[in-house]
């Protein structure tokens, strides 16, 4: 497990934005939601409520042979994830860009468009394998070594836990059924938060002794 640093995620986002804005948005959404690859490529615009800044994750895409199959999430449960302002702004710009491309080609977007798509009418999703290859190429160009697409999910978990976000909230964001599973995977990334806890208790004791 090699979660990228925030600086590395920012580098990937900026570099992708220079040549592939859609990949840049994908990186940002992945690094802010913690969603799985299949869940991200399965996102449709109806899953996003940009006014309320939420994304509903209720399905995923997998490859069976060379066929794309849509199914439920890994845990067969849907979840609603809050979005930050920067991610919402990027998605708004991304939607406008898709609509502009469709209009320039003289077609209308499909009634139920995908968020990440190569089709002019947004009728088909990115393939999971192609997405992984694009991310791997982006990392090589950015000089970010040893980071896989799935590590953006680890980035979300480790940074939130280290910042002191409670494990139930982190587990819910990742789509884990049981918070214990989250701790089993990420417990060794929590020492930074534990040190903060010790300092808080120390300050409280110091203040009490000074009274």
Each residue's pLDDT tens digit, 125-176: 999 999 999 999 999 999 999 999 999 999 999 888 888 888 899 999 999 9
Residue 67 and residue 111 in one domain: yes
Q: How many CA atoms are closer than 13 Å to the CA of 159, on its beta-carbon side?
A: 18
Question: 117 is written with which tokens?
Answer: 């798509």
Stretch (H or E) spanning 210: helix 191-210
Residue 166's contacts (CB-CB under 8 Å, 6 or more residues apart) are: none
pLDDT at 189 over 80: no
Contact 159, 189 (CB under 8 A): no
Residue 73 and residue 129 in one domain: yes
Over residues 106-124, mean pLDDT: 96
Question: 122 is written with which tokens?
Answer: 């947004």
**Closest alpha carbon to 1 in 144, 169, 204, 185:** 185
Residue 183 and residue 112 in one domain: no
Residue 66's contacts (CB-CB under 8 Å, 6 or more residues apart) are: none
Q: Give the pLDDT confidence score for residue 25 in this predicted structure.
A: 97
Question: What CATH code is carried by the domain that includes residue 46?
Answer: 1.10.443.10
Residue 103 and residue 192 in one domain: no
If one counts every other C-beta atom within 10 angstroms of the C-beta of residue 115, the result is 25
Question: 163 is written with which tokens?
Answer: 């910042």
Contact 43, 116 (CB under 8 A): yes
For residues 92 and 52, what is the distance between their CA atoms, to the nearest angstrom?
A: 13
- What domain range includes position 183? 160-210
In this structure, is residue 175 part of a structural domain? yes
pLDDT in tens, 34-78: 999 999 999 999 999 999 999 999 999 988 888 889 988 877 788
Residue 210's contacts (CB-CB under 8 Å, 6 or more residues apart) are: none
For residues 195 and 163, what is the distance between their CA atoms, to the nearest angstrom?
A: 11
- Structural domains counted in the chain: 2
């Amino acid at each position: 497990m090699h979660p990228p640093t925030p600086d590395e995620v920012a580098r990937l986002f900026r570099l992708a934005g220079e040549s592939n804005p859609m990949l840049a948005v994908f990186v940002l959404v992945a690094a802010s939601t913690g969603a799985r690859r299949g869940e991200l490529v399965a996102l449709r615009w109806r899953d996003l409520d940009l006014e309320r800044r939420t994304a509903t994750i209720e399905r995923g895409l997998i490859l069976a042979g060379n066929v794309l199959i849509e199914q439920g999430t890994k845990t067969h449960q849907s979840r609603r994830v809050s979005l930050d302002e920067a991610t919402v702004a990027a998605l708004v710009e991304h939607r406008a860009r898709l609509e502009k491309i469709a209009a320039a080609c003289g077609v209308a977007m499909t009634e139920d468009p995908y968020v990440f798509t190569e089709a002019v009418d947004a009728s088909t999703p990115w393939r999971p394998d192609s997405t992984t290859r694009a991310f791997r190429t982006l990392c090589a160009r950015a000089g970010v070594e040893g980071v896989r697409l799935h590590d953006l999910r680890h980035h979300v978990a480790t940074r939130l836990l280290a910042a002191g976000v409670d494990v139930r909230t982190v587990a819910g964001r990742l789509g884990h059924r049981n918070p214990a599973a989250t701790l089993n995977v990420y417990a060794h990334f929590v020492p930074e938060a534990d040190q903060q806890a010790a300092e808080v208790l120390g300050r409280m004791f110091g203040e009490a002794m000074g009274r």
